[in-house]
């Protein structure tokens, strides 16, 4: 098992889970694809900045796509988690059930994503397993360890990256380095 990547000490401590995403449920997901800004000194920096979380569930010709989009105080995308074939689907469903529900109409959000598409940061991608870690003061911190993905998981990551070349408005404008095995 890879060593845990402790939360970055240079990032000021904030109330973890202020966006109502339970740390314990994140720890049950197993391997997930994490996207973060390349300027972040640590893959979990976006988690610490996040103030809202939105679940995205859609189905298209490439199959199902499920993700959590974490937004900062200004409503900008700052961290994303994508469900992978390697992930625990039951844990994902429990996590989605724990989040506040907001329902848009069938076409709501399409213009919003087009409008934000040009300002999305370039992303770094890494496959991680998230871990809740108890703090001495009684809170729970989030840590992560890099993981190797199955061939099916790597294929799914590649399809997500390829969507950028097709101009899909939901996917990152560009991805930097990745941390999965080939």
Number of domains the chain is built from: 1
Mean per-residue pLDDT, 55-73: 83
Residues paired with 79 in a beta bridge: 36, 70
pTM attached to this predicted model: 0.73
Does 173 map to a domain? no
Does 93 map to a domain? yes
pLDDT confidence of residue 122: 75
Q: Model confidence over 23-63: pLDDT tens digits?
A: 889 999 999 999 998 889 899 999 999 988 888 887 777 77
Q: Is 179 exposed, middle or buried (0-12, 13-18, 19+ CB in 10 A)?
A: middle
Longest Cα–Cα distance of the chain, Å, equals 48
Mean per-residue pLDDT, 75-104: 86
Range of the domain at 119: 23-165
Does 46 map to a domain? yes
Does 176 map to a domain? no
Does 131 map to a domain? yes
CB 62 within 8 A of CB 157: no
pLDDT confidence of residue 32: 96
Q: Model confidence over 123-168: pLDDT tens digits?
A: 888 999 999 998 888 888 899 999 999 999 999 988 887 775 455 5
Does 123 map to a domain? yes
Q: What is the 3-state secondary structure (H, E, C) of the chain?
A: CCCCECCCCCCCCCCCCCCCCCHHHHHCCCEEEEEECCCCCCCCHHHHHCCEEEEEEEEECCEEEEEEEEECCCCCEEEEEECCCCCCHHHHHHHHHHCCCCCCCCCCCHHHHHHHHCCCCCEEEEEEEEEEEECCCCCEEEEEEECCCCHHHHHHHHHHHHHHHCCCCCCCCCECCCCCCC
Mean per-residue pLDDT, 82-108: 78
Mean per-residue pLDDT, 80-106: 82
Does 16 map to a domain? no
Q: Copy the structure tokens of residue 174.
A: 């560009």
Mean per-residue pLDDT, 11-32: 68
Q: Model confidence over 108-121: pLDDT tens digits?
A: 444 333 333 334 45
Higher pLDDT, 86 or 160: 86
Does 132 map to a domain? yes
Residue 179 clears pLDDT 60, i.e. is over it: no
66 phi and psi angles, rounded to 5 deg: -130, 135
Which domain CATH number covers 155? Answer: 3.40.1570
Please name the residue that has the structure tokens 């496959």. 127
């Amino acid at each position: 098992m890879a060593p845990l990547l402790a939360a970055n000490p240079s990032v000021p401590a904030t109330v973890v889970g202020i966006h109502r995403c339970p740390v314990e449920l994140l720890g049950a997901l197993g391997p997930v694809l994490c996207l973060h800004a390349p300027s972040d000194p640590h893959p979990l920096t976006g988690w610490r900045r996040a103030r809202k979380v939105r679940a995205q569930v859609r189905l298209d010709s490439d199959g199902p796509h499920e993700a959590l989009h974490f937004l900062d105080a200004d409503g900008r995308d700052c961290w994303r988690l994508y469900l992978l074939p390697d992930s625990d689907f039951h844990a994902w469903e429990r996590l989605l059930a724990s989040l506040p529900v907001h329902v848009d109409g069938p076409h709501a959000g399409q213009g919003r994503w087009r409008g934000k598409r040009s300002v999305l940061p370039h992303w770094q991608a890494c496959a991680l397993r998230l871990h809740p870690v108890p703090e001495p003061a009684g809170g729970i911190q989030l840590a992560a360890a890099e993981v190797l993905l199955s061939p099916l998981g790597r294929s799914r990551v590649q399809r997500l990256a390829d969507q950028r070349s097709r101009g899909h408005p939901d996917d990152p404008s560009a991805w930097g380095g990745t941390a999965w095995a080939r």
